[in-house]
Amino acid sequence: MDKYSRVAEMLSAKGIKIFENEPLAPHSTFRIGGAARLAAMPDSTEMIIDAVKAAKEEELDFIVIGNGSNVLFSDKGFDGLVIFTRSADSVVIKGNRVFADAGAPFTKLAVTVKNAGLTGLEFAYGIPGSVGGAVYMNAGAYNGEASQVVASSTAYDDLTGEVRMISKEEHNFGYRTSVYSQNKDRLTVLSAEFELKEGDSAAIWETMQDLIRRRREKQPLEYPNAGSVFKRPQGYFVGKLITDAGLKGYTIGGAQVSEKHAGFIINRGGATAEDVLRLVEHIQNTVHEQFGVSLECEINFKGKR
């Protein structure tokens, strides 16, 4: 029995759903990617820990994925274990404190707290990722970001094998970064605690509707994509840089710089990961040549090129 079979057997014995040669494209908002040798669908944070432990025990490469909204899977797939957290999606509200598992959709969380008359997560409405992903990258939009409302989180520490509570200060939040992304080979987000304020549900909903309207007007939501491709360089706007470089609409294979918002790369149909990577590199090279600005890619590439 090889290590893949042993991991599959261990996780099945824990009641975790396991799939072999699972296509990854349907699990990505880009709709791109080959197959995962193994995919696990844990239903709880305890099961997420079990999956990570099994992979570590057998020295099997693994990645933990929420909604696949900020990821580009390799055309060659992933020769290891992909742990999908979306079924671990419990949300508990206690006063103005909200406790959410890593797999809870960020947009769904925004609606849930709105219904409870809590304000502070309006910016999350329309963000396609999960709570885990939002904390991992300090997701944000329209002058709001996770760091403003995260009070603490729980993490599984691969190095010590312990579950740790991460305080607000320990998150070391920055622009699209946190202690999790800074220790991505060690820490796995399990859940997060949000501190919100009481508000009027109708007013909160009005704000959320305004934000989603603005998203639809400015972003290419009608095409598969992985959100903003590049981090914002200080003093510049990415979309303007790419537009001024004459790259709006530029296409490689099935991947295209969005004509609606040049900060996005869209899958026009049949795009491969290689198409996207080549387009990213072309944008970076062109912008640097013309303006001397280095663009850092925000999308996480998973697998081998």
Q: Which residues are marked as active site?
A: 176, 228, 298
CB 81 within 8 Å of CB 99:
no
Closest to 201 in 3D by CA, of 261, 260, 118: 118
Is residue 172 a contact partner of residue 180, using CB atoms and an 8 Å limit?
Answer: no
Distance (Å, whole) CA 131 – CA 129: 7
Continuous segment of H or E residues that includes residue 122: none
The first and second tokens of residue 249, run together, are 């609409």
One DSSP character per residue, 26-87 reads GGSTT----EEEEEEE-SSHHHHHHHHHHHHHTT--EEEESS-SSEEE-TT-EEEEEEE-TT
Beta strands, E only, 57-172 = 62-65, 71-73, 78-84, 91-94, 97-101, 118-119, 140-141, 144-145, 150-157, 162-167
Give the number of other CB atoms < 10 A from CB of residue 29: 17
Residues whose CB falls within 8 Å of the CB of residue 192, separated by 6 or more in sequence, listed in order: 99, 100, 102, 131, 132, 134, 135, 150, 152, 153, 154
